[in-house]
Chains A and B, each alone.
Chain A
Amino acid sequence: MSSPAANAPADTATSGFSIGSLIRRPEAGSLIGFVVVYIFFAILGGAVFMGAPGWSSWLNIAAEVGIIALPVGLLMISGEFDISVGAVVPASSVTCALLSGQFGLPAIVGIGGALSVGLLVGFVNGMIVTRTSIPSLIVTIGIMFAVMGLTLGLAVLVKGSTSVGYVPDPLTKSLLGTFIGGMFNVSIFWWMGFIAVFFYFLHISPIGNWVFALGGDAESARNAGVPTAKLKVSLFMMSGFAAAFVGIAQVMTYQSAQVAGGQPFIFNSIMCAVIGGVILTGGAGSIIGIVLGTMTFAVVNQGIFFARLDPNVGSIIIGALLLAAVLTNDSFRALALSYATKKK
């Protein structure tokens, strides 16, 4: 990846490094949060948590939610929410398992079908959001229920049950659903790939500018010639695609697709983005931040077990982190904006 200082829109440093400019970078808060949380659980969890078992357990969680958190974070930067990811994950799993497992079609057909489901749901979300004035929160909740209902209906109709089994061929399994060294899910590498692509899209390509502008002032962006509707539909399709990808990875890993169970992705992906410094009102955020937020979330999520704490404590920590993140996001933004007025 390229040097982060060169790309984020909120970049404030021009030459050289100073504590001031580092602290004003939007990722600073997320980095501090991650380090604090990691040290906390490293102390409680000990050597096991700091060794391969610990790393693999939280990285596996991070990869799953992280792949979805990237486009969800992008949508939040552009001022929109996508709740429907919670239904796309199981819908894609079931589609893949039905096509390749139940009907015995080649794996690639199941994968293609599942990804198409994600893209289609994203397209429908995007079209409704851009064509009407209904907030995306409501639109995607509605779509989530519709997709959940369709998934359940389809599974029961075809298979007569709420779970569909599928044993993938060894190659497909090794690419999408295996544990390397018995511990690290291949999804971690896919996540890295997604990170690279999204980093390029948001921070290096000129289109990244438009994403920030959408969240900053969509009307002005449209007046400036940014194809706002097209861009928004594409962003929704990205999150549909990513959620479908996770659904596929799940069915390849667990060899069975469940019609329910996608709901945790809804809040978790939003939390990862917020902990990562994405501003809830849109217009600011970064890929590095979202990745750090995801890692923080995953460390808490898994660290609880290594530290032998009550899982409820984990929920409390996540809640506190979220509030702290929103507060620091606001103050970091204020700091960044104050830069111009202070320096005479």
Chain B
Amino acid sequence: MSDKKVVLELKNVDKSFGPIDVLHEISLKVREGEVLCLLGDNGAGKSTLIKTLAGVHNATRGEILVDGEPVIFSGPRDAQDRGIATVHQFGGTYPLMSVGRNFFMGQEPTKGFGPFKVYDRKKANKIAVEEVQKMGITRIDDGDRLVGGLSGGERQSLAIARAVYFGARVLILDEPTAALGVKQAAHVLRIVNEAKKRGLAVIFITHQVMHAMTVGDHFAVLIRGAIAADFRKGEKTREEITDLMAGGQNMADLEQEIEGYMEAHDGHPPKVEPAE
């Protein structure tokens, strides 16, 4: 096991939405300078878990500890104030607002006199553009641009740059590479590594085994809201991880099934609902 300091810990956390139980008895340790990859099929509860860590939801049962102290987040702001920054799976940007205003949403830089605070547009735009360019999106050079005019990947990069900028201790990324091209995805992985080197704890959710294996130090697999496997880098092979990510199914069997189908259907692959 690692000897690095535990920043964030979950002890037997349950989360239900009314009668729907989504998370069961989740216990996890997130260490500084490490990347925890959270894996699992669609609907396994990954986003729900990180929303609980981001202060969006409160755990129904169980404890969350920050630096060993039990905490109950009063809201996303509270979690942010404790240095936990999150990029949520969907949204996160406001199309009709400028890059600068998007970047600083909820944490606007102000200048001003006494009680009259003034939004510091110059400063916001400058920092936003700098941080986004650091992500490799050099096309954004004007903080006044509306985010609606950016591509999906550029928006995602903006959201990540924002979290990196505000993530003092824990950086949570929910499928950050899903909308990205190969180059931008590589960039995000580099940033994850960079954050790790700087001593941040990173929680990284992805459906791509390669991405997970590139950056992960520690892996946790969720199946129907419970931790089905919890292991460290090098303890499992790529095939084993792939099977676990598919919800415990044997992917080799699945592939054979598909081949069988193709033979029976003149070589046409079965129609698959596109994965998100």
**A interface vs B, CB < 8 Å?**
6-7, 9-14, 200, 204-206, 208-210, 212-213, 216-217, 219-227, 279, 283-284, 333, 336-341, 344
Contact = CB atoms under 8 A, between A and B. Distances in A.
Nearest to A203: B119
Contacts of A226: 105-106
B119 A339 contact: no
Contacts of A6: 121
Interface in B221-267: none
Given A223-B86, A223-B88, A9 B108 contact: no
A224 B105 contact: yes
Contact of B101 (A13, A205, A209, A339): A209
A213 to B, nearest CB: 5
B55 to A, nearest CB: 8
A341 B105 contact: no
A37 to B, nearest CB: 26
B86 to A, nearest CB: 7
A206 B108 contact: yes
Contact of A12 (B88, B91, B146): B146
B149 interface: yes
A243 B148 CA distance: 34
Contacts of A225: 75-77, 80, 106-107
28 contacts: A7-B119, A10-B96, A11-B144, A12-B144, A12-B146, A200-B116, A205-B118, A209-B104, A210-B105, A212-B94, A216-B94, A216-B97, A220-B91, A220-B93, A221-B106, A223-B88, A223-B92, A224-B106, A225-B77, A225-B80, A226-B105, A283-B96, A283-B97, A336-B148, A337-B146, A338-B149, A340-B150, A344-B139
A10 B145 contact: no
Contacts of A283: 94-97
A8 to B, nearest CB: 9
B121 A7 contact: yes
Contact of B149 (A11, A205, A217, A340): A340
Interface residues of B, number: 38
A217 B94 contact: yes
Interface of B: 51, 54, 56, 75-77, 80, 86, 88, 91-98, 101, 104-108, 110, 116-119, 121, 139-140, 142, 144-146, 148-150
Nearest to A283: B96
A238 B137 CA distance: 41
Contact of A205 (B56, B106, B117): B117
B119 A205 contact: yes
* 5 A-B pairs with the lowest CB-CB distances in the bound complex, closest first: A340-B149, A216-B94, A225-B77, A206-B108, A224-B106
A207 to B, nearest CB: 8
Contacts of A220: 88, 91-94, 105
Contacts of B96: 9-10, 212, 216, 279, 283-284, 333, 336-337
B96 to A, nearest CB: 4
A2 to B, nearest CB: 9
A200 B57 CA distance: 33
A332 B88 CA distance: 30
Contact of B119 (A12, A14, A208, A279): A208
A9 B98 contact: yes
Contact of A213 (B56, B80, B105, B144): B105
Contacts of B76: 222-225
A337 B148 contact: yes
Contacts of B150: 340
Nearest to B79: A225
A221 B101 CA distance: 12
Contacts of A341: 149
B97 A9 contact: yes
A212 B105 CA distance: 10
A12 B143 CA distance: 9
Given A223-B88, A283-B96, 13 more contacts: A7-B121, A12-B146, A205-B117, A206-B108, A206-B119, A209-B97, A209-B104, A212-B96, A217-B92, A224-B92, A227-B77, A336-B146, A340-B146
A14, A217, A333, A336 interface centre (most CB from chain B within 10 Å): A217
Contacts of B142: 14
B98 A10 contact: yes
A337 B95 contact: yes
A208, A209, A333, A339 interface centre (most CB from chain B within 10 Å): A209
